[in-house]
Every structure is written in structure tokens, then in C-alpha cells.
Structure 1
Amino acid sequence: FVRAIQASNVLVSGMNGLGCECAKNVLLGGVKSLTIHDTKPCSMTDLSAHFFLTEQDVGKNRAEACMAKLQELNNSVVVKTMTSELKAESCKGFSVVVVVDMGLEEAVVINNFCRGQSPPIKFIRVDVRGAAGSIFADFGPGFVVTDTNGENPHSGIVKHITNANPAVVTVPDDEQVEFGVGEWVTFKGVEGMSEINGGKPVKVTDTKMYNFTIDLDTSKYNKYERKSMNTYGTVMEHKMPKELQCRSLQESMESPDFSMDPSGMGGMWDFDKFGRAGLLHLCFLALDDYRKAHGGALPGLQDGGAADEMVKLVHEAKKRTKSEEEVDEGLVKKFSRTADAVLAPMCSIFGGIVGQEVAKAVSQKHHPVYQFVYLDTFEVLGEYEGGSADEYKGMGNRYDAQVAVLGRTMQKKMGDLKYFMVGCGALGCELFKNFAMMGVACGEQGMITVTDDDVIEKSNLSRQFLFRNFNVGQSKSVAATNAVKGMNGAIKIDARQDRVSPATESVYDDAFWEGLDGVVNALDNVKARQYVDQRCVFFGKSLLESGTMGTKCNVQCVIPHRTINYGGRKDPETKEAPECALHNFPHNINHCLSLGRSEFVGMFETQAGQASQYLEKGDGFVSEMSSKIWSEG
């Protein structure tokens, strides 16, 4: 997995806020090289989502302006820029090509070129349009996934197997079935029914809590029996490679078939909006038609005439693609009125998914997107019709794109928020960055209080993107504050190093909690989450709760008197510690293993990589490192 990523060369074309988010995640993943491409100059509207551009960069090429800051994220990755027009032949030699904000006609040409290579170049097209976004992934015909979930193989004890067709396998009452439908299993040590042993995989066709059905006829096998009360056979998950037949962009856009999605999700990622994927597909297809008819221009923000035209184009796209989706014209108009806005939270979501898909594409591990992702957050939009035009009119600053979507009133409210962020690790860095881009606590009354009693370790740098080598040993909350203020100098932050616990209730007293508008957790353990949750319940404060564990994540929005609180459900302690729990003094076996791995990487991977770059670049590498040391000092 790691070797495949480290040998890959990735191209990201289109360095708006979304493109930068994709590039940042690819860099932190540790690819061999990253080439960022753009022909457009930076504008003030880019600053609504682009965390590596400032007002001083307006007018400069976006790729060139953010290249140095991207390189700082990972010195082991070679970062290059490309500013000429992107032609299909330019993609040769790359493992993965990611295109952002690219029209359909141009994207089709690039995609067809990528599919025609041997082996095929993996292709991803991603767009964020206001409160909606889309991803299309084409990893070529016959793409093989060697491990669909990346989990350690499940295993279980066999209590009984029926002599039937199909056979039913029962597990003990204290051990629930962990296998899923479609997975394959093998048996070992089964007594009596010895024919089932031998390692030949059989498919799981149905599962219950304490038994599962396999695609095997055991009616003529010997009867299952145990020679003693303490002997059981075992069943083990068998990882089977899976071949995916990806269709081209052109075919998929004009003849979408969401039923082909082997995950059964059909392009839908929000199960509260059945059928929405099909309608959003028509919206994005109509948007390409609109841009083609208007010289590449997008519908104007809050432009009613353009919205009416988009409705007609959606109906035409429905007819052309023989879609049976019901067209919600009000939703289409919302899509059109906000399509020219790129918002930081949407970039964070879609850039995160793309970063993960790039890793899947080159490693063939974990089931990739097949082939569409559509997601919207139209719930945040106000009603334009009958409202004041000035409410959504830009103010000539970095928040204009967001104002056009959410309105001036909402922008002012976010600017005056008083928020408490507990923890400043990997999640905290991402949240902090989004707050700065959105203008949270950037008003006269606003303030974000952030606390983290931990200091920065080398092992943090691959995930906690606000930190650099020169920050090692510094307070996380202080270093993150300095980094975020470099992104948006208007943000107001009170950085602290106190642990939030009963022992610090004199620091975080009643007056402190009562003065808050809300709390966001960025913690790495259940006990701390539960304590913060208890304080939020007591003081009636909203809580944004989230957590990660490898490629898994969870989010919970707690609203007082409306939703269940975090402690309302039993959350078991995790079996493995998150990597961000590595401290100055590792206090359990997982921390020690993580520390050992970090030291190994530093001595035998990072330093070796730098030596390789020195041999390749010579004095140029010395100059680069000298300038970094000077700027860090």
C-alpha cells in the first residue's frame, strides 16, 4: 500500500480552493511527485476557500502562488507546476490525473486519453458548485481491487453447521457474526463435517446476528460434531480480488446507470434524499450545456434569468438521457443561483474524498467510488424569491462567494460567534482552517478559544497540516493559531494549553461556558468527549462532535433539546489508539509502536529521501533547504 503510493506521480489541474484541498491531501499521503496545473490568476473570490492564497497573491497564477506553501507540507514529495494549456498528451507519465473546474468537452478528451494508455491512467473529475458537489472516477476497464475494505480479516468460532443446501453456520451466543453478504470465508478445524475444511473459499449469502448462510450444499457431508466441549472449528474471512469495469466519462454522463454501483448506493451519499443523485446529475449535465453556450461562463450568482435557462436545460438533459427523475425546479434554481460560488466546507468534504480515491487508485486497496458521488447541502440556503437583493450582494471582500450563498446576515452571525474548540490535532487543524476561510470569529464580537495540552511531534506532521518541522516541540494550540492567522488575519483566537477536565473547572468556569455560542470537539478519547458533552448539556450549548480511526470517521451534531447528546448512546472504548494520541511520553503499547514507526521513518525513509533528492538536484537542493531553515528560524 505505502510503496504503491510512494511510487505514484499525480497531476491536479485547477488550483482553486477545491484543487488546493485535493493537492494538500495527496501531498500528505506521500506520493512520489505532485504536479499542480493552472492557467488562471488568483482573484479575491478565490480567498473564500483557498487557504494557501492571500490578498497579496491576487493577480498571480494560482499554481505558482501556492506551490511553495504546498511543498512545505512534505519535503519528501517533488512538487512541480504547469501553467501552459493542459493537453491530453501532457497527462502521459502520471499515475492519476485529477481535474477540477474543467468543462465536460475538455474533460472527455483528457479521460479518453487516460483510458487509452497501458496501463490506464486513473482519472478523477471533481467539482464544487455552491452547496452541491460531484465526483466522477474512472480507473479504467478491468480495474482490480485486491482488498475491498482494508480491514483485518474477520474470524469466528463455529458452533454448528447444518446439513442443508444452502448450509447455515451458527456462532456462539456471545460472539456476533462479523461477516457481510458477498464476503468469502474458509473453514479450519471443523470436526465431523471435515469435508468443509481445506481452505476452499465459500460465499456468504445471508447474515443474522448469530448465524450466516453460505453458498454451499452440505446435505451429503458428514454431520457436524464436536469431540469435546472445548473444541470448536474456526471460520476466517478470505479476501477475494474484485474486478470493476469502469465506463468512460462521456458514456457515463449521457447514459448514467446508478444501479451498476456494486456498493448499492447508486451515487447517493445522503440517505435522507432518495433520488437526489439523479437530479444532481442532470443539474451538472445542464451546467456543462450552459457553459458551452456561454463561452465557459457559469450562471451568475442570484441571476434569475440564468436560473430559468438552467431549468430548461435540465429538462432537455432529462429527455436526452431518457431519465425518469422528477425535476424539482426550485432545487434546480437554487443550484443555478449558487453555482459560481466555491465554499470551504464543501471543498473540505470533496477534497478529502478525492485524496482517498487517489490512494485507492494507485494501491488497489479499498473499494473506490463507482463511479459517481453527488452530495448537496441545500438546507443551508435561504429563500431568494421575495428577499432583499442586497442581502446576497457581495461586499468586495474575501467572503463574497459565501455571502452570495448564505447572505450577509448569516455572514455577520458567523463573524460574531464565540466558540470553544477542544483539541487541536488532525481534526482540529482542518476545523480551524475551515473557520478561518468561512470568517468564523472574524467579526468585532467574535472569539474562538482553543485549548490543547499536547505538543507537536514529528509523527503529527503527516496528518496535522498546520504544523511544520520547525513547530516540533511547540504547543499545538499556539502553533495552529499562528498558522491560521496567516490564512486570515481577521480571525480572533485565544490559544490555551489547559486540559478540559474537572480539575480545570476554575479556569473554564460558569461564566466562560455561559458566554459561548457553541462547542466543537477535536478529541482523541471517549472520556474527554463525555466530559465536554456533560458540560454542554448542563449549560445548554450546541456541540459539534467528530472522530476518525484510520479510514473511518463519525460526525454528530448535538443541538440542545432537539437531538440526543453524545453521552446518550454508549460509545465503547476503541481497541486501538488513534495515531494523534502519541505524546512526549508514550503510555501504552500502541503509542510505543507508533513512536517506533515514526522514528524508523525519520531515520530510514525521510533522510534517505532527502539524500536521493540531493544526488538528483545537487546545489539546488542545498539552496532549497537553506532557504527553508532561514524562513523557519
Structure 2
Amino acid sequence: MKQMANSAILIYGMGGLGIEIAKNIALAGVKNLTIQDCKLAEIQDLGTQFFLREEDVGKNRAEASSSRLAELNPYVSLSALKTGLDCDSDLSYLARYQCVILTEAPLKVQICVNNFCRQQTPQIKFISADVFGVCCGAFCDFGDNFEITDLDGEEPKEIFIEKISKGKPGVVSCFKNKMHGFDTGDHVTFREIYGMTALNGWTCQIKVLSPYMFEICDTTGEEFAPYKHGGIARQVKVSQNASFKSLEQEILNPSLLIPDLCRFEAPANIHLGFLALHRFNEKFKRFPKAWCVDDSSNLVSLAKGLNTELTNKVTTIDEDLLNVLSYTNTGCLSPLCAALGGFVAQEGIKAVTGKFTPLKQWLYLDCRDVINKEEATTPDMFTPRLVKQQLGYPQNKTKLSCVYPL
């Protein structure tokens, strides 16, 4: 993978999700990997950030993680930046990267960085991702004209030919009724054909007639002699271009992937909930507190207001989901970090290699079923244990259904 071996990727935010992405990309083997974070490690980071130790609390998260991350792959040049990102930051240093991945960044900062990436020549691929409690999401923008050199990464298919008819169009039959595995629109090339030798080296687009037959070009011309025997048809990988919209455009009219058809409305509701979380943070300079009913009510109200601004409005707002998102948003679940971290890292590799079909453009997942809504909860129950000890909280041995820390 020559492109990957010559690529440079920056990941911002070294929380549980950011370190998962960085770990996977380091193992994949890019040339340069930069991790950036201005936050200091806290006790609650230890629940999901597996490259931090208790002695790292109070240190910069990127700097504290860099040495352990570098041990994963000695062929990757890894560097750490301790600076933050905001809309007034000088973003010129991002121009040296082929892909920029943001986590734990305010929405306004995401938009600023995305716009900067789109203004570069060539355009820098942009990914943003976050985990809020029992919900997580990712966004991809690979520019106006992203070339996909290989849609599926599979080896090209080959079949032996039994017969090729002279016709308009000609029809190819597979040897001994072996299934060809091609799809309509695929391109194939031919070799080792006897008789209709004009097809040797010829590449054409096909139309599938059955699992054993497909149409090719017009074979009625004089240059096409009657088919005698032999021949192999081989699939040809043809690059395709994909066009992406900016984050600013996609916010109000999102292109959502539906991962669970049983919860068809969930991605739209989570998208609305994430927008409401960012609006809540802008308004109150913090995110909703764990299991705070007042904050949850405010979040639902903000979500309803934001829904009127969307081009494609959410038809049925799931208030239960928004409440759960508000109650748990300050938490970070390791399984969600692992799942989304692997997915985002894969999208980052797609961005720099052009191999495999990328996400267009939003993915949202949730695991709301882990929450026991019937269990009595208070915000104090979700204070990390070590913090409780430091603050002199009485020992509470109540078994919680939610994952520490929140």
C-alpha cells in the first residue's frame, strides 16, 4: 500500500475514542501520525483511555500517550502536539496532512477545520467522531472529487468461457454453467480466445442476463470472426469518483447510513440529539450533567427547536432516546469507543489509499438497551470512585447498571 506508506494523518483528542483511532491507524502503518490534545488527563479518562496510567493524571493526554503508542509500530513516525483547536487558531500546519480526524471538538471548531480542509489543493480528507454516553457518531468529508480506485478490495473475478455469440450485443456463456459472479455495470477484459480473437485484450462494460450469461459489446462486425473455443473473462477494477458535501451543508440535511432497519428513525434522532448537545454546551458552557432531569428537559427543548431548522425534519422525535443521551452523555463506554474507533480508523485508511467505498456521510450507533431505566439514580452515583474517595464521600456499595465512569 504505497499511498498509506507515504501518508500523514492527524488525530485530535486523545480520549477513549481518539486513542482507539490512533492505535488502529498506527498498527495499519501510515508514514506519519500526529496526535494532538490540549487537555490534561483526569481520573475518569482511565476508564477508556488504555494508554494512560494513574501516574499520568494531570499530564497532557497526547504527550502521556505518545511513548506507549509509538511502541505499537516502530515504522510509524509519531509526534504529539499539546496545543488546542478553536476557530481563531492558525490552521496552516494542517496543510501537511492528507487526513484530519477530530474527536471531542466543539461543532463550531469542526466546521472551521472542515472548511479549511476543503480550501486546500488537493483537498484534505476530514473525519469527525464522538462518543456521548450510549450514543456515538462519525462524519466523513473526502472532498468534491474523491477517487475510489477499488470499491470492494476483492480480487478480480475470472471465468472460463464456453461460447460467445455473434449478435448486437454478443452474449458470453460460462464454461460448464459455472456462475460468473459479475454484476451489471462491471468491466471485463478477455484473453486466450480462439476464433473471435478481436476480443483478446478488449475491455467492455457488461450487462448480466443470468448467473451464467452476460452481454458484451456488438460482435456483428467483420472484425469479429466466429467463436471457436477457449477464452477467459477477467473483471477489471475501474476507479470511480465520489462527491462529498461539507459539514456545514450536511448538518441541516444529513446523509444518514441506516445500520438497523428495526430502528429506522434512530440515526436522525441521534443526529438531532448531538446537535442539541453542542447547542447546550454553547449556551451553558458545559454538557448536561449525569441523570439531571432539568438538563434533560433543556436538551429536549433545544432539540425540538433545532428540528425546525433542519431541511429534512425528524418526523417523530424520540424523547426517551434524547433523555437517555442527556443522562449519559458525560460518560464514555469502552465498547462504543472500540467499535467506532475501528470504524473511523478504517475510514481514515480509505481516505489516504482510495481503496474501499467510504462512508457517505454520517453513521450513528447507540446501545441504549444497557440502561436500566427502572433503577433509581442520582447524579452523585456517577462520580468516579477515586474522586469520591478524594472528596470524602461515604462508601457506596450499590451495584450500578451503568458503566463507570460517567
TM-score greater than 0.5 by the shorter chain: yes
Q: Distance in 1 between matches of 2:301 and 2:214?
A: 51
Task: Using structure 2 for the length normalisation, give the TM-score.
Answer: 0.86
| Corresponding residue to 1:188 among 175, 186, 191 | 191
Answering whether residue 106 of structure 2 is matched by residue 106 of structure 1, we say: no
Contact kept in structure 2, 1:391 and 1:408, CA below 8 Å: no
Q: Secondary structure at the match of 1:92?
A: helix
2:5 alignment counterpart: 6
Unaligned ranges ≥5, structure 2: 389-397
Q: Distance in 1 between matches of 2:386 and 2:24?
A: 23
CA gap 1:327/1:70 in 2 versus in 1, 3 angstroms? same
Q: In the alignment, residue 62 of structure 1 is paired with which amino acid?
A: R
- What are the superposed Cα offsets for residues 200-238 of structure 1, whole Å, 9 maximum, x if unpaired? 22044x575x235547566889999763xxx44322111
2:34 alignment counterpart: 35
Q: Distance in 2 between matches of 1:215 and 1:273?
A: 42
Equivalent pairs counted in the alignment come to: 391
Q: Distance in 1 between matches of 2:289 and 2:326?
A: 8
Q: Distance in 1 between matches of 2:212 and 2:369?
A: 42
Say what the alpha-carbon RMSD is for the aligned residues: 3.1
| Corresponding residue to 1:285 among 258, 275, 291 | 275
Q: Secondary structure at the match of 1:201?
A: strand
1:145 alignment counterpart: 148
Structure 1 residue 160: deviation in Å?
4.5
2:300 alignment counterpart: 311
1:129 alignment counterpart: 132
Answering whether residue 311 of structure 2 is matched by residue 322 of structure 1, we say: yes
2:45 alignment counterpart: 46
Contact kept in structure 1, 2:33 and 2:77, CA below 8 Å: yes
Q: Distance in 1 between matches of 2:271 and 2:172?
A: 43
1:314-393 mapped onto 2 (5 Å cutoff): 314-325=303-314, 326-383=316-373, 386-389=374-377, 393=381
2:391 alignment counterpart: none
1:527 alignment counterpart: none
Answering whether residue 385 of structure 2 is matched by residue 397 of structure 1, we say: yes
Q: Distance in 2 between matches of 1:222 and 1:274?
A: 54
Identity level (%) = 31
CA gap 1:182/1:389 in 2 versus in 1, 3 angstroms? same
Q: Distance in 2 between matches of 1:91 and 1:105?
A: 17
Contact kept in structure 1, 2:187 and 2:203, CA below 8 Å: no
Q: In the alignment, residue 263 of structure 2 is paired with which amino acid?
A: K
Structure 1 residue 82: deviation in Å?
1.2
Structure 1 residue 46: deviation in Å?
1.0
Q: Distance in 2 between matches of 1:24 and 1:332?
A: 31
Structure ranking higher in helix proportion: 1
CA gap 1:331/1:244 in 2 versus in 1, 3 angstroms? same
Contact kept in structure 1, 2:134 and 2:366, CA below 8 Å: yes
Contact kept in structure 1, 2:16 and 2:48, CA below 8 Å: yes
Contact kept in structure 2, 1:268 and 1:375, CA below 8 Å: no
- What are the superposed Cα offsets for residues 26-81 of structure 1, whole Å, 9 maximum, x if unpaired? 21122222221111111121111110112222222111111211122222222222
1:245 alignment counterpart: 243
- What are the superposed Cα offsets for residues 562-609 of structure 1, whole Å, 9 maximum, x if unpaired? xxxxxxxxxxxxxxxxxxxxxxxxxxxxxxxxxxxxxxxxxxxxxxxx
Q: Distance in 1 between matches of 2:49 and 2:336?
A: 12
Q: Distance in 2 between matches of 1:44 and 1:38?
A: 17
Contact kept in structure 1, 2:178 and 2:212, CA below 8 Å: no
2:394 alignment counterpart: none
Structure 1 residue 136: deviation in Å?
0.9
Task: Using structure 1 for the length normalisation, give the TM-score.
Answer: 0.56
- What are the superposed Cα offsets for residues 518-577 of structure 1, whole Å, 9 maximum, x if unpaired? xxxxxxxxxxxxxxxxxxxxxxxxxxxxxxxxxxxxxxxxxxxxxxxxxxxxxxxxxxxx
CA gap 1:178/1:319 in 2 versus in 1, 3 angstroms? same
Structure 1 residue 172: deviation in Å?
4.4
Q: In the alignment, residue 355 of structure 1 is paired with which amino acid?
A: A
Higher RCO by CA contacts (8 Å cutoff, separation 6 or greater): 2
Q: Distance in 2 between matches of 1:350 and 1:195?
A: 50
Q: In the alignment, residue 244 of structure 1 is paired with which amino acid?
A: A
Q: Distance in 2 between matches of 1:115 and 1:39?
A: 24
Q: Secondary structure at the match of 1:408?
A: coil
Q: Distance in 1 between matches of 2:169 and 2:266?
A: 38
Contact kept in structure 2, 1:127 and 1:133, CA below 8 Å: yes
Q: Distance in 1 between matches of 2:192 and 2:265?
A: 48
CA gap 1:18/1:398 in 2 versus in 1, 3 angstroms? farther
Structure 1 residue 392: deviation in Å?
8.5
Q: Distance in 1 between matches of 2:21 and 2:247?
A: 20
2:64 alignment counterpart: 65
Structure 1 residue 182: deviation in Å?
3.9
CA gap 1:250/1:395 in 2 versus in 1, 3 angstroms? closer
Contact kept in structure 2, 1:166 and 1:213, CA below 8 Å: no
Q: In the alignment, residue 303 of structure 1 is paired with which amino acid?
A: C
CA gap 1:303/1:155 in 2 versus in 1, 3 angstroms? same
Q: In the alignment, residue 24 of structure 1 is paired with which amino acid?
A: K
Q: Distance in 1 between matches of 2:288 and 2:250?
A: 24
CA gap 1:221/1:34 in 2 versus in 1, 3 angstroms? same
CA gap 1:146/1:316 in 2 versus in 1, 3 angstroms? same
Q: Secondary structure at the match of 1:246?
A: coil
Structure 1 residue 195: deviation in Å?
6.0
Q: In the alignment, residue 294 of structure 2 is paired with which amino acid?
A: G
Unaligned ranges ≥5, structure 1: 259-265, 401-406, 415-436, 439-633
Structure 1 residue 369: deviation in Å?
1.7
Q: In the alignment, residue 138 of structure 1 is paired with which amino acid?
A: D
Contact kept in structure 2, 1:131 and 1:335, CA below 8 Å: yes
| Corresponding residue to 2:399 among 370, 390, 408 | 408
1:177 alignment counterpart: 180
- What are the superposed Cα offsets for residues 116-153 of structure 1, whole Å, 9 maximum, x if unpaired? 11111111101111222111111222111111222211
1:119 alignment counterpart: 122
Answering whether residue 199 of structure 2 is matched by residue 201 of structure 1, we say: no
Answering whether residue 264 of structure 2 is matched by residue 274 of structure 1, we say: yes
Structure 1 residue 194: deviation in Å?
5.8
Q: Distance in 2 between matches of 1:207 and 1:302?
A: 58
Q: Secondary structure at the match of 1:137?
A: strand
Contact kept in structure 2, 1:177 and 1:207, CA below 8 Å: no
- What are the superposed Cα offsets for residues 440-477 of structure 1, whole Å, 9 maximum, x if unpaired? xxxxxxxxxxxxxxxxxxxxxxxxxxxxxxxxxxxxxx
